[in-house]
């Protein structure tokens, strides 16, 4: 599988699984988080074994994205069944995971 691996527009203050690596595969991907509002938001991103990440699984934690801006994380890898989990302080985050599995 290649291209868009997962998308989400999470509800405010809610953990959301955006993408799960297929069983027996490795995911190589980028994450794009777009703030679709003119006001700042805080984002959390984790590469986690479950839908509720441990603190050690976060790669971004309460990172501020200014209004109408984007946060990009590139060159990420995750092993079989790992989840990309996101949390946003508002409902204005458009999250896209794109890449491939092998």
Contact 45, 86 (CB under 8 A): yes
Q: What is the pLDDT of residue 82?
A: 98
Asked if residue 1 has pLDDT above 90, the reply is no
- At 11-62, the pLDDT tens digits run 999 999 999 999 999 999 999 999 999 999 999 999 999 999 999 999 999 9
Rounded to two decimals, what is the model's pTM?
A: 0.96
Once rounded to an integer, what is the mean pLDDT over residues 3-14? 98
Q: How far apart are the first and last CA of the chain?
A: 8
Q: What is the pLDDT of residue 2?
A: 87
Q: What is the pLDDT of residue 72?
A: 98
Once rounded to an integer, what is the mean pLDDT over residues 80-92? 98
d(CA 101, CA 76): 12
């Amino acid at each position: 599988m290649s291209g868009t691996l997962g998308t989400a527009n999470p509800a405010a203050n809610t953990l959301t699984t955006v993408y799960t690596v297929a069983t027996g595969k490795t995911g190589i991907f980028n994450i794009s988080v777009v703030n679709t509002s003119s006001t700042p938001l805080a984002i959390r991103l984790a590469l986690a074994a479950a839908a509720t990440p441990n603190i050690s699984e976060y790669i971004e934690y309460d990172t501020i994205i200014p209004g109408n801006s984007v946060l990009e994380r590139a060159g990420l890898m995750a092993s079989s069944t790992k989840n990309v989990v996101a949390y946003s302080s508002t409902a204005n985050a458009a999250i896209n995971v794109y890449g491939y599995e092998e």
